[in-house]
Every structure is written in structure tokens, then in C-alpha cells.
Structure 1
């Protein structure tokens, strides 16, 4: 996916959310690579961020849900973009879903959901235990973002405080914070 052929205001159809309008096209440099993202508003009003395949590979553990999440994501990836490129994080709904432009083995659009957080947090926790020397800044940032967002989602659905849920998860996973 490149910017070519994607114009703000043009109508387009995404397999997962149906027809709608492209409300933004952004190309960003992340981790030394240029990545394209489409901001897409479906006819039903749902807004999604559609990532290029390269961006999807880099961002697969993360689900960006709000402005703060977007800012944390960009900070974790050390993305240098002008501030005006960030002004629309707040415009998306609180439950914005992220899809990749690519498809999975069953030819369905890839949807990064909260379950991905669980897998990524476990994977990074195992890496931290097994090879503490290789557990770098990006992995720590990614794990923290994924863990914090997962706790926020679970606390809301279980009607519990984030602090008590975090303590219980740490106890069960044997994590020391």
C-alpha cells in the first residue's frame, strides 16, 4: 500500500467493514521504514486504521484505541512526525479497530484484537525470563503498552479497579514489577 491511488474523500471498500470513505492517508517512518496507513470511515460510522503490510508486521501486538494510546505507540516506536499528523487520534472512536491490509490463511482481513495483547505479553514475559540480556527497550515498551491496555480493557469489563487486577495478574504470572 502506498499513497498512490488513495485520496482523502475518495470512496473505497474494505472487506472487513464494507464501503466507506478514506478520511486520511498517512505515510510515516517507523523504525527506519516508511509505512502507509489509511484512516477509513465506514458508511455505518465505524472508523478503522488500515495498515500497510510492513506496518502491520511491526505493530501487530498493539491495538490503538484512543489519543493517549496513539501517543504511547508513537513514543514507543520512536516515531518522529510533525504534531499535525497526530491531531486525528482523538477523532477516532474509543473502540477503533485496527486491520491489516493483508489477509490471513483463510483469506479474511487480519483484525488485531485484545487477544493479541495476551499472547504478546506472555511471549515477552517468557523472553524476559529466558534471556534477560536480549530484552531491549522496544520489547519493554511494547510489553508495557500491551499489558496496560489489556488491564484497562479487562478492568472495565470485570468492573474492577485496574490496580487490583494488575496485582492479581502479576501474582498469577509470577511477574515482579
Structure 2
């Protein structure tokens, strides 16, 4: 039995936990989908769940999180993410970590710069309208993070209050909460 190319019973080294053995596969429901997690037993005896690369890519089309938000998400899921999996689908910017399952023509993760958060908010608003069954807790959290960040950036650059910009954005784009 295998999952995403990892053989159960095979030895492997996890970046955060160290060497150990893949001892099973466990599924968890996230965003209405069953996600495969690798059960990993470190040589020191610690057992952890590791988000598989496929599950990482399915987790969300886009999750925009600051460093603390990313850590809270992983803690809430109680999983460890191998750094090589993150390398395949994550990018860093000065202000946020952008997790992207979608890729451009050169197979690089789609990058949303902070000034492009308006595009992300629009995408999430469209998802909420067109596929409400796919619009769950993580999408709501993502929309709030992106919206709040967008308002901060615009308020600073336009020298306006965040409150007045929030009202204008809600009016123009529809509230995404």
C-alpha cells in the first residue's frame, strides 16, 4: 500500500521530526474532502501525521496566511508538513506566505503579491456565489485575511481610514465573510 509515492513500512526522514518510518495512512475531512495523511513514527517514538503532497495541493486553491496564521492552521489540523512538499506549492513574500495549488505555464505556484489581494477577494466572492458548497471555514478565513490585508495596504497608500475603505470595498465587491 502506498500514498503519493510513499510506501508504508519505508524509512524516511522528516525535516522537523527526523528519521523514522511511515506506518500508515489516515484520512481526515477538511473542507468537505477526505484528505490523506501519512502516519509517521520517528525513531524517538513520536508519532505524527504528515500532510501528503496531494492533500496539500487539494487543501485549498489558495490559502493566504501570515506566518502566525499558517502556524495556527497547521496546529489546528494537528499535522506536520514536509518542507519539500511546501517547496512545491508555497512561496514567501515580505508580508505573507502564499500557498497555491494552481500553477502558471512554467509550473510555478501562482503568486499573489499583496497589492493583488483584490483579485483573491474577487475569486473567493465568486466561489461563494457559484459553488457555496465548496465555501467552507478555510475559505472564509482566507477571505477575511486577504480582505483585511488589502484594506491595510490601500489605506496606507491612499492615506484613508481603514473603516471607510472597508465600507467602499464591501459596497463594490460584495461582503466576503
* Larger Cα-atom Rg: 2
How many matched pairs? 177
Q: Is the 8 A contact 1:155 1:161 kept in 2?
A: yes
Is 1:136 matched with 2:156?
no
Secondary structure in 1 matching 2:64: coil
Q: Is the 8 A contact 1:63 1:114 kept in 2?
A: no
Superposition deviation, residue 151 in structure 1: 1.4
Is 1:78 matched with 2:99?
no
Superposition deviation, residue 162 in structure 1: 1.5
Q: Is the 8 A contact 2:91 2:99 kept in 1?
A: no
Give the direction of change, closer, same or farther, for the CA distance of 1:34–1:101 in structure 2 (3 Å limit): same
Query: Which ranges of structure 1 fall in alignment gaps of 5 or more residues?
Result: none
TM normalised by structure 1 equals 0.45
Q: Is the 8 A contact 2:117 2:146 kept in 1?
A: yes
Give the direction of change, closer, same or farther, for the CA distance of 1:40–1:12 in structure 2 (3 Å limit): same
Superposition deviation, residue 165 in structure 1: 0.8
Superposition deviation, residue 67 in structure 1: 4.7
Q: What root-mean-square deviation, in Å, do the aligned CA atoms of Structure 1 and Structure 2 show?
A: 9.8
Residue by residue over 1:80-115, the C-alpha shift from the partner in whole angstroms, topping out at 9 and shown as x without a partner, is: 699999999999995477698998436888643125
TM normalised by structure 2 equals 0.45
Query: Which ranges of structure 2 fall in alignment gaps of 5 or more residues?
Result: none
Q: Is the 8 A contact 1:52 1:100 kept in 2?
A: no
Secondary structure in 2 matching 1:175: coil
In 2: Cα distance, 1:120 partner to 1:176 partner: 11
